[in-house]
A and B are shown apart, each in its own frame.
Chain A
Amino acid sequence: MMLDGFKRFARNRGAAIGLVILLFVILTAILGPLLYPDSPWKMVQRPFLPPFTMDGLPLGTDALGRDVMAGLVHGARISLLVGLVSTVVALLIGVPIGALAGYFGGFIDDALMRFTEFFQTIPSFALAIVLLAIFQPSLFYVILAIAIVSWPPVARLVRGEVLSLRSREYVEAAMLSGQGTLQIITRQILPNALPPIIVLASLMVATAILLESSLSFLGLGDPNVMSWGYMIGTARTVMRTAWWLSFIPGVAILLTVLAMNLIGEGLNDALNPRLSRKSR
Chain B
Amino acid sequence: MSLLEIENLAIALPAGADRQLAVENISFGLSKGEILCIVGESGSGKSMSANAVMGLLPEGVEPAGGHIRFHGREILHLTEDERIDIRGKSISMIFQEPLSALNPLMRVGAQICEVFEAHGLLTPAERMARAVELLEEVGLPDPDKTIRAYPFQLSGGQRQRVMIAMALALEPEILIADEPTTALDVTTQAQILALIEELRRKHEMAVIFITHDFGVVADIADRVIVMQTGQIVEQGSAEDVLLRPSHPYTKSLIAAIPGMKDKPDTGQTHSQQSPVILSVKNLNKTFSTGGGLFKPARVVHAVNDMTFDLHLGETIGIVGESGSGKSTAGRCIIRLIDPDSGTVRLSDVDLTALNGHALRMARSKAQMIFQDPYSSLNPRARIGRILTEGPIAHGVPRAQALDRARELLSLVGLDPSAVDRFPHEFSGGQRQRIGIARALALDPDVIIADEAVSALDVSIQAQVLDLLADLKARLNLSMLFVTHDLRVAAQICDRIMVMRRGQVVEMGPSAQVLGQPAHDYTRSLLDAIPGRHHEAAMRQSVASY
* Direct contact between the two chains A and B in their complex (CB within 8 A): yes
For residue A91, give the distance in angstroms from its CB to the closest CB of chain B. Answer: 19
How far apart are the CA atoms of A278 and B370 in the complex, in Å? 30
Chain B interface size, under 10 / 10 to 19 / 20 to 34 / 35 or more: 35 or more
Stretch at the interface among B104-112, B297-305, B356-364, B492-500: B356-364
Per-residue CB contact flags for chain B residues 350-380 toward chain A (1 = under 8 Å, else 0) read 0000000000110110111011100111111
**Separation of A50 and B368 alpha carbons in the complex (Å):** 75
Flag whether A179 is at the interface (Cβ < 8 A).
yes
Interface-central residue, A173, A183, A187, by most chain B CB under 10 Å: A173
Contact A177 B376 (CB under 8 A): no
Q: Is A172 an interface residue (CB 8 A)?
A: yes
B360 and chain A: residue at smallest CB distance: A178
Within 8 A of A (CB), among B32-62: 58-61
The verdict on A114 contacting chain B, using a C-beta distance below 8 Å, is: no
Query: Does chain B have a CB within 8 A of A240?
Result: no
B389 CB–A CB distance under 8 Å: yes
Please determine whether A179 and B389 come into contact, CB atoms closer than 8 angstroms.
yes
Interface residues of B in 20-42 (CB under 8 A from A): none
B270 at the A/B interface (Cβ < 8 Å)?
no
Q: Is A126 an interface residue (CB 8 A)?
A: no
Question: Which partner residue on chain A sits nearest B395 by CB separation?
Answer: A178
Q: A175-B336, A178-B394 are in contact. Are A169 and B370 (CB under 8 A)?
A: yes
Do residues A278 and B438 form an inter-chain contact, with CB atoms below 8 A?
no
The A interface, classified by DSSP as helix, strand, loop or mixed, is helix
Known pairs A192-B378, A280-B58; A174 contacts B389 (CB<8 A): yes
Contact of A178 among B363, B380, B381, B386 (CB under 8 A): B363
Does A170 reach chain B (CB closer than 8 Å)? Answer: yes
A11 CB–B CB distance under 8 Å? no
Contacting A176 at CB < 8 Å: which of B59, B363, B424?
B363
- A1-31 vs B, Cβ < 8 Å mask (1 yes, 0 no): 1000000000000000000000000000000
Bound CA–CA A177/B381 (angstroms): 15
- With a cutoff of 8 Å between Cβ atoms, the chain B residues found around residue A183 in the complex are 393
The answer to whether B380 and A177 touch across the interface, beta carbons within 8 angstroms, is: no
Cβ contact within 8 Å between A177 and B390: yes
A178 touches B390 (CB 8 A): yes
A170 and B363 contacting across the interface, CB-CB below 8 Å:
no
Residues from chain A with Cβ under 8 Å of B386 in the complex: 170
Measured between alpha carbons, how far is A178 from B334 in the docked complex, in Å?
12
Interfacial chain B residues near A177, Cβ < 8 Å: 364, 367, 389-390, 393, 438, 441-442
Cα distance, A252 to B290, chains bound together (Å): 50
A-B contact count (CB 8 A): 74
Given that A177-B393, A178-B393 are contacting pairs, would A192 and B60 also be in contact in the complex, using a CB cutoff of 8 Å?
Answer: no
Bound complex: CA A177 to CA B396 (Å): 12
Does B422 lie within 8 Å of A170, measured CB to CB? Answer: no
User: Residues of A contacting B367 with CB < 8 Å?
Assistant: 176-177
On whether the beta carbons of B422 and A1 are closer than 8 Å, the reply is yes
Measured CA separation A175–B367 after assembly (Å): 10
Q: Are A170 and B375 in contact (CB under 8 A)?
A: yes
For the complex, give the distance between the alpha carbons of A170 and B379 in Å.
Answer: 9
B293-314 with Cβ < 8 A to chain A: none
Q: How far is the CA of A142 from the CA of B441 in the complex (A)?
A: 53
Contact B380 A192 (CB under 8 A): yes
Query: Which chain A residue lies CB-closest to B13?
Result: A280
Q: Is A188 an interface residue (CB 8 A)?
A: yes
Do A179 and B59 touch (CB < 8 A)?
A: no
CB-contact partner of A180 in B336, B360, B377, under 8 A = B360
Give chain B interface residues in 366-417, CB to chain A under 8 Å: 366-368, 370-372, 375-381, 386, 389-390, 393-394
Give the most central of A170, A179, A180, A278: most B CB within 10 Å: A170
**For residue B371, which residue of chain A has the nearest CB?**
A169
Q: Does A274 contact B (CB under 8 A)?
A: no
Q: How near does chain A come to B330, taking the closest CB pair, in angstroms? A: 11
A278 contacts B390, C-beta separation under 8 Å:
no
Query: 16 pairs across A/B with beta carbons < 8 Å?
Result: A169-B371, A170-B375, A170-B376, A172-B336, A174-B378, A176-B334, A176-B363, A176-B366, A176-B367, A177-B390, A179-B389, A179-B390, A179-B393, A187-B389, A188-B378, A191-B380
Chain B contact residues, CB within 8 Å of chain A: 58-61, 331, 334, 336, 360-361, 363-364, 366-368, 370-372, 375-381, 386, 389-390, 393-394, 422, 424, 435, 438-439, 441-442
Q: Which 4 A-B pairs have the closest CB atoms?
A: A177-B390, A169-B370, A169-B376, A178-B393
Seed contacts A1-B424, A179-B390; 19 additional CB < 8 Å A-B pairs: A168-B375, A168-B376, A170-B375, A170-B378, A172-B336, A172-B368, A173-B376, A173-B435, A175-B336, A176-B334, A176-B363, A176-B366, A177-B438, A177-B441, A179-B389, A188-B378, A192-B380, A278-B60, A280-B61
